[in-house]
A and B are shown apart, each in its own frame.
Chain A
Amino acid sequence: NTGVTQTPKFRILKIGQSMTLQCTQDMNHNYMYWYRQDPGMGLKLIYYSVGAGITDKGEVPNGYNVSRSTTEDFPLRLELAAPSQTSVYFCASSKGQGYLEFFGPGTRLTVL
């Protein structure tokens, strides 16, 4: 198992551009999460999924969309990038209650 992988590692976007952050896990975890981490802060939940085809909003979903067509993949879409979306984005997965949450290495996004 390679765990949780994220691509790209770094990206600079211009205001109004769109992009998709990719996240893949090979541990057959049902639960997957997208968090953002602003400088000097903890992680905040953007969206989560409890299984293929099922997604729901977290604490800070505005400006983002997700899909979960397979157990392995959970991409995060930014449609109209704004400077407020400059952050580090972490994808994570777990088996659920009582199980450890595994984090990807993160994607550092800057919107100029």
Chain B
Amino acid sequence: AQKITQTQPGMFVQEKEAVTLDCTYDTSDQSYGLFWYKQPSSGEMIFLIYQGSYDEQNATEGRYSLNFQKARKSANLVISASQLGDSAMYFCAMREKDSSYKLIFGSGTRLLVRP
């Protein structure tokens, strides 16, 4: 079964508008972490934001915020005031509490910001 599901293969957003990228996850652990990474066309993985399962407040980092709804097992990324440089692939990932602390990635959403 998919552990991380990103249902939007591609999205468009107008420059300066906000956009929400969806992510749902599946785990039976009580302790886990959720991450969002950005991958521009150059290929590197850029960390954006992190939410721990016990964090009561939604995480925010500048223009990025994470809409964490634990009961629904969703961790959507909200980008406010989109910029042309936000055009990239975005990956949601989860780290469960096992001995490897590995990340499990979704299939990604390609965001294109229109001028």
Contacts and interface: CB of A to CB of B under 8 A. Distances in A.
Interface of A: 31, 33, 35, 40-45, 48, 50, 56, 58, 88, 90, 92, 94, 96-98, 100-101, 103, 105-106, 108
Interface of B: 4, 33, 35, 43-45, 47, 50, 52, 91, 93, 95, 97, 99-108
A50 B4 CA distance: 23
Given A41-B108, A98-B52, A106 B44 contact: yes
Contact of A97 (B45, B47, B101, B104): B101
At the interface, is chain A mostly helix, strand, loop or mixed? Answer: strand
A33 B102 CA distance: 8
A48 to B, nearest CB: 5
A100 to B, nearest CB: 6
Contacts of A50: 99-100
B44 A42 contact: no
B102 A88 contact: no
B105 A48 contact: no
Given A42-B91, A42-B107, A31 B101 contact: yes
A101 B103 contact: yes
Contacts of A31: 100-101
A48 B100 CA distance: 7
B111 to A, nearest CB: 14
Nearest to A44: B105
B101 A41 contact: no
A98 B103 CA distance: 12
A44 B44 CA distance: 15
Given A88-B43, A103-B44, A106-B43, A96 B107 contact: no
19 contacts: A31-B100, A33-B102, A35-B105, A40-B107, A40-B108, A42-B91, A42-B105, A42-B107, A43-B91, A48-B102, A50-B99, A56-B100, A96-B101, A97-B101, A98-B52, A100-B50, A103-B44, A106-B43, A108-B43
